Amino acid sequence: MLRLLLSVFLCLSLVAVVETSAQPQAERVARVEPIVREGKLYIDADIEFAVSGDLRNAAQKGVPIYFTADLEVVSKRWWWFDKTVISEQKTWRVVYNALTRQWRVGSGDLSLPESSLDDALSLLRNIRGWAVADIKDLETDELYEGKLRLRLNTSLLARPFQVDAFNSSAWSLATPWKNFTFSISLDEPRP
């Protein structure tokens, strides 16, 4: 009897371990790197996220899905609230065209063709060269604190999908805020 209970306990604990290891990875911003180039501040970021089955099915049927990256940079003040220096958003549209069997991903008027949904989402997973501010608007040698996140922008979906997105957790894809700090320093040119 004891042997039977022990074997049942081991089987159940093995199933529990397999179920917890099969959980999908959580959405997160893995890396944020502010870069100064040609008098502008650019943001490079690596983001990890997975698209759920319902969202993937809707996208494969031609429903455009929108992702928005939110960036906020503040300057700390001891005597008042923090001063918001940069507050930027960038929105990408991912859509499947059934006639050409092609995915298109873009921001604004520019859209690029891709062969699969994962290829289209790789542009969102690896944000490069996002110009967010002019250096002349930032103080040198001051510490700035920033935060970045990526979210599925359900407000840009068609109305029937907005209702579905409100009621379903499959349509609530968002990374938590990733905090980072940086400062701008101008090196003197050497003679």
Stronger pLDDT, 170 or 67, i.e. the higher one:
67
The percent of residues above 70 in pLDDT, for the chain, comes to 81
As a whole number, mean pLDDT of residues 54-59 equals 91
Q: What's the confidence (pLDDT) of residue 14? A: 46
Q: Provide the mean pLDDT of the chain.
A: 85
> Looking at the predicted structure, is the pLDDT value of residue 16 above 90?
no
Q: What is the mean pLDDT of residues 52-61?
A: 90
| In the predicted structure, residue 187 carries a pLDDT above the cut 90 | no
Residue (of 185, 176, 182, 186) closest to 74 by Cα position: 182
DSSP calls for the chain: -HHHHHHHHHHHHHHHHHHHHTSPPPPEEEEEEEEEETTEEEEEEEEE----HHHHHHHHTT--EEEEEEEEEEE--SSSSPEEEEEEEEEEEEEEETTTTEEEEEETTEEEEESSHHHHHHHHHEEEEEEEEEGGGS-BT-EEEEEEEEEE-GGGS-HHHHHHHHH-GGG--BPPPEEEEEEB-PPPPP-
Give the mean pLDDT of 162-172. 72
- Provide the pLDDT confidence category of residue 164 given band limits of 50, 70 and 90: low
Q: How far apart are the C-alpha atoms of 115 and 103, rounded to whole Å?
A: 6
* Closest CA relative to residue 89, chosen from 108, 64, 74: 108
pTM: 0.81
What's the whole-number mean pLDDT along residues 4-24?
43
With a cut of 90, say whether residue 177 has pLDDT above it.
yes
